[in-house]
Structures are given as structure tokens and as C-alpha cells.
Structure 1
Amino acid sequence: MKRTLPSMILQSFFNLLLGTIFLSGCHTARPSKQANSHTKPESDFMYQYSIIDALMAGVFDGDLTIGQLKKKGDFGVGTFNKVDGELLIDRGHVYKISYDGSVKEVADTDSTSAAFVKFFKADTVIRFSGKDLTYEKIQEQLSQILNPNGIYALRISGQFTSMTTRAARPALPPYKTLPEHLKANQAVFELKNTKGICNGFLLPPYLARTNVPGFHLHFVADDKKAGGHIFNFTTDEITVEIDIAKGFTIENNTNAEFSKVNLKPDRGDELKKIE
């Protein structure tokens, strides 16, 4: 797909950081106003429980319940205690995509060891269309449009001709590092002609070691029969809703193991291999 947004519209996008943009093949974008108005100022921030380096190092349990997490955001991604599957929140519903491929809505009494959430309200909508658009191409286009220093919640919806995802098997103590655990304990799903949503974040490099820099998205099918952490997809048309966060807040994992783990090593290269 060629870049076709006129410089005037791009400048307007960055100045206003709101509006609706439609990209269809190589047609021109058309912005319109759509203000982001949350009832509480703090609700326009990304909230995260624990940090990605702690999860990478094997801190697989946390004390935050799903009920408590839902008070921090109605949209997001993460995992559960023991890294038991992939967590996806959409419109306040919290789903677990398990190692066996099943999807279920979880109880508020379940707990998470790492989660990244936000109250979602789109500031901008972009529609991409074209034959065999890939996840990589979509990432390239969004990276060209969006300011690299911003924090963005992304909700991508559409029909996918293919979708490659994974889900982790729950770990047993004593826990290994996440890369070691995933070597033999992740299921990879090759989905075909599936319709659903991809929720997650596009985060800047300066959040490395606390979160996943770049794109981090999870998928759930509309029929709630498949999903997982996204590795790749192809599509002919998708809609991308973008919610621009004002900033972020971090709550350290309150489990005792967090205070014992060695967080000095830089695990960036390890993270790239599993993402």
C-alpha cells in the first residue's frame, strides 16, 4: 500500500491528534472531529500491573484480581497467574484464551501476574483495504502515521484470511524464565477465515523493560472459539480504532516473588524472540 495522505492532512492529524481517517487502497484520507471525553482525567492513562521484565524473569503470580483490574480499564491485554493463557479485555469483558485453544470469559475472582489496560475511547479511526494486507504492512503504515513518542491503544476489527496466534500452558513451580517456559509450553494456532478483534498497544521505545515496545496485540474471534497472542495475520480490509493515552501508570507486582527477582539484566533480545 502506498502512502497517500497529503501533507496538509498529516499535519492536521499530528496537531489535533483526533479525527477519523479512512484509507481505502490508495484513496485520500478524510479527517473529522471526534473528541475524547472521559469522565475522570486519570481514565485516559494506560495502567499496568507489574512490568514485562518481571514476567520475563519468571514472576508468574500476582495478587491483583480481575475484578480489581476492571476498575483500571475496560480494554487491554495481559496474562493470568502461572501464565495460564492469554488475557484480552474488550468492552469490559475479560477473556482467557487457553493452551487448548478454548476461549472463556473469566470470573472477577481470577488473578493476573501482568496486565496492561485502559478505558478505551477512540480518538481516530483508520480503515485499511487492499489484497493480502499483512500484520507487518499494517504496522509499517501505522508507524508512518503515528508519532513515535506516543502511547496508543489499538482495536483492530475485521475478517482475517489467516491469523497465527499462540497461548501458553500454565507453568508449575519452581518457575523458569518466560522464554524457557515457552520453548515447550506454548501452542501455536493457524486460523483461517476468522472474524474478530485484535486488542493491544503500540508503545514507544522508552517504555522498554517496563512494557513491550512496539506492537503487542491479542486476538479473539467473534464466535469466541479461537484467539491468542498475535504473531501474524493477513486480511483484505480492517478497521483500526486508535485511542491516544496521555501517559501511563505502573503498579508493581505485589506478590512476594517480585521483591526477590533479579531485574538488572536487560531482557530486550529475549523479548523480541518471543513476541
Structure 2
Amino acid sequence: MKNRIVLFGLLVSLLLGCVEKSKNNKPVEEQKVTTASDLESTSKPDVFYQYSIWFAFVNKVFDGDLKVSELKTKGDIGLGSFDYLDGELVMLDGVPYRIRENGEITVGQDEDEIVYSDATFFKEDGVFKISGPMDYTSFQKRLNTEMESEHYFYAYRVPIKLDYIKLGGVPKVEKPFTDGLDLLLPIRPVFEAENISGTLVGFYCPEYVGNINAFGHHFHFISDDRKWGGHVMDFKTSHDINVPWDQKTSYAFDLPKNETFENVKLDSEFQYN
């Protein structure tokens, strides 16, 4: 009798174990598998980040204290300018490229400083197709029609093949800063190229942000061979364009902590695309 009780107990334990196992071993389609990339994605903020403000940048605040190492914690795409306007910034895949006024392209080092920047971790919300031929003005107009609302912020990371592109750089300045962007941009260095492929990195800001940021679309470009880059002034393409976009509903910015910003007179207004 004692042996029967022990045997019965073993059978009950086995049955209970099978029931528990069946609960845990749900069909694959019912299980949510968390991958390393999922964890990495959720740990990154879904925020449009900005360092300094457009009004300060316009008013000759050309020295900043944001290090490249800090910018890389704010996004994997970005644009802006390095300290003292010593190069346009295009960040792609977390790599901050510096395009100097002579066209030289290098990778910004962690201790390098940035005077102004927009950045975000690009998380694609959708993609739409634009059929060629297309120029830069028409491209921006099409983006306007595709936006869910002009009241949100948008980030773009667009692979593109171009028949022609015109890019602008920035002239390096030294203290004391005497000329603002309204005088510097008309004399900026210009780079032109034909039959080139690369990536457009850009952002859209709603008009209500005023002088905190530049209203509308703003794009920088970096070529696939990393030999051409800068602020997009114009382009033409006969190719179709697939446009991945990322809508942003959170916005944050940091201000420079230095005497130039503390003492600047924010009296000049200037907008450009």
C-alpha cells in the first residue's frame, strides 16, 4: 500500500509538471520575444534635441560648450556647426562628420565642441516614395504635403542618388565675433558635385518655435564616399526617392553656459533654409 501511495504521488507530480510546462511553452506566435535591439531601442529617448537656440546662433554666439561625446548621447543623426563655425556638422549612424570651409571632411573627436546642433535617435515611423525628376524646392514642398501635421517635429534620414547638388559650408570665425549669419552666409564657401549618392539628414520645425529654431525643413548631406558634404542649398535628381520619416512630439534643448551667451543681445532676426 505504501508503495502505491508513493507511485501515485510521483504520477501527480509529473502531471502537474506537464501542466506547468504547457503554460510556459506557449506557441511562438503568442510569445513576445525581447531582443537586445529592442532593449537598446527602448533605452534611447524619442526626443528632438537641440543645443543652443537659433536666436543666439544668429546673434554671433559662435562658441559653445557641448562636447561631441555628449552630443552622441542625444542622437544617432544630427546637424549643426562646430565651435567657432569651424565646420558644418552632419551626424549619421552616430558618427559626427565635420565639413570644413575648404571641403575637408573628418570625424569630430569626443573632446571637440559644438556651437549649435539638432539631433535625435531616428526611429522610422513610415516611408513614402517621391517619383523623379525632382529638385530641392519641389522636394521640400512634397514633404510638406506628406506630414501628418505641420505642428509636429520631424526627422529625416534619406538615401538619395543625385544628378547635381549644391552644398554650403561655413567660414571659420575668431573672437571678437563681429559679423552675424546674415553677413556670413552670403559669403559662405560653396561645393558642387554631379552624379553622386549619399544621405540627406534633416529636420522640420513648426513655425511656432519662433527664434528657438529655424522654421521649416533644414537638410545637410554626406556622400557615400564621405568626400562631399554640407548644408543643402539645391539639388536635382532624375531618380525616385524613398523618404523615411520620424515624427517627434517631445522637444528639449540645452543652453550654452558661457559669457558669450550670458551677455549677448538678442536683437537680430534671420531665417534661412
Q: Which amino acid aligns with 2:217?
A: F
> Which of 213, 216, 220 is the matching residue for 2:215?
213
Aligned length: 232
Distance 1:77 1:220 in 2: 11
Across the aligned residues of Structure 1 and Structure 2, the Cα RMSD in angstroms comes to: 1.6
Alignment of 1:80-229 (within 5 A): 80-131=82-133, 133-146=134-147, 147-175=149-177, 176-184=179-187, 186-229=188-231
Structure 1's consecutive aligned runs of 4 or more residues displaced over 6 angstroms after TM superposition are none
TM-score, normalized by length of structure 1? 0.81
Aligned residue for 2:231, secondary structure, equals strand
Distance 1:182 1:230 in 2: 13
Give 5+ residue unaligned stretches, structure 1.
1-34
Aligned residue for 2:240, secondary structure, equals strand
Query: 8 Å contact 1:81–1:113 — kept in the other structure?
Result: yes
Distance 2:252 2:189 in 1: 32
Q: CA deviation at 1:60?
A: 0.3
Q: Which residue does 1:54 correspond to in 2?
A: 56
Q: Which amino acid aligns with 2:56?
A: A
Q: CA deviation at 1:247?
A: 1.7
Deviations 1:185-225 (A, max 9, x none): x1111211110001010111011201111011100100000
Q: Which protein is richer in helix relative to its size? A: 2
Deviations 1:8-27 (A, max 9, x none): xxxxxxxxxxxxxxxxxxxx
Q: Which amino acid aligns with 1:218?
A: H
Query: 8 Å contact 1:38–1:44 — kept in the other structure?
Result: no
Q: Which residue does 1:250 correspond to in 2?
A: 253
Q: Which amino acid aligns with 1:271?
A: Q
Between 1:122-131 and 1:216-225, the stretch displaced more is 122-131
Which of these two proteins has the greater Rg computed from alpha carbons? 2
Aligned residue for 1:208, secondary structure, equals helix
TM-score, normalized by length of structure 2? 0.81
Distance 1:223 1:159 in 2: 13
Distance 1:97 1:217 in 2: 14
> Which of 69, 73, 78 is the matching residue for 2:80?
78
